[in-house]
Amino acid sequence: MAFTLPELPYAPTALEPHMSANTFSFHHAKHHNAYVVNLNNLLAGKPLAEADLETVIKEAAKDPAMAGVFNNAAQVWNHTFFWNSMKPGGGGKPTGAIAAKIDADLGGYDAFVEQFKAAATTQFGSGWAWLVLENGKLKVTKTGNADLPLVHGQTALLTVDVWEHAYYLDYQNRRPDFVQAYLDHLVNWDFANANLASA
C-alpha cells in the first residue's frame, strides 16, 4: 500500500499569524510530501511496502541498514502528529484529564511549560519536543532528527517540531518565540486528551 500525504486538519491560513500559510506551503506541501515520496520509493517491491506506518517504523528501527526507511517513515508520522497537535484558537492552559495529569505528574501547568520550553529550545540542531506517557506517568522529552517516542516505549501526547523549516519563515532564528507562540496560541489540548484516553 502506497503512503499518501495526509490533508492538513485545518486550512493553511487557519493558524495565522502564529504560523503562516507560506510556512505550510513549504513545510506540509514540500517537506512532509518529500518524506512520503521517499518512503514509497524506498519500500517499493519490499515486504514492508504492505505494512502500516507504525510497523514500518518499528521494524526499520531495529536494522541500521534501514536508516533511510526509518528516517522517512518516522518523519511522515511525526509531521502528521504535529499538525494534529495544533488547532486554530488553541494554546493556553489545558482542561480535562490531561490538566489533572499534568498537575499530578509534572507539578502543574507552569512547571510543564518550563520543562517543555527547555526541551524545545535546548534540542541541538533538528528535532522535536514531546509530551509523552511513559509507564503511566507524563514526561517531557526531546528527540533528535526523526527519532520519536514510539520506538522508546512511550506514547506521544503532543509534539512541537523544532527543525528550522518549521519556524524559520515566520520567526527566523527565534526558536524560543516560536515555542512560546505554540504554547500560547496553537496547542491542541483536545488532541492530547484523546491520546491520553486511548493510551
Residues with pLDDT less than 70, the chain: 1
CATH class of 21-84: mainly alpha
pLDDT at 1: 63
* 119 neighbors 129 (Cβ within 8 angstroms): yes
Closest CA to 152 of 11, 44, 57: 57
pLDDT at 126: 97
Give residue-wise pLDDT tens across range 51-92: 999 999 999 999 999 999 999 999 999 999 999 999 999 999
pLDDT at 178: 97
pLDDT at 78: 98
pLDDT at 131: 98
- Torsion, CA 54, CA 28, CA 119, CA 182, rounded to 10: -120
pTM of the model: 0.97
Per-residue cell: 114:
518550563
Instruction: For residue 57, give the amino acid letter.
Output: I
Structural domain boundaries of the chain? 21-84, 97-198
pLDDT at 51: 96
pLDDT at 34: 97
State how far the Cα of 132 lies from the Cα of 117, in Å rounded to an integer.
15
Instruction: Give the fold, CATH level 3, of 97-198.
Output: minor pseudopilin epsh fold (3.55.40)
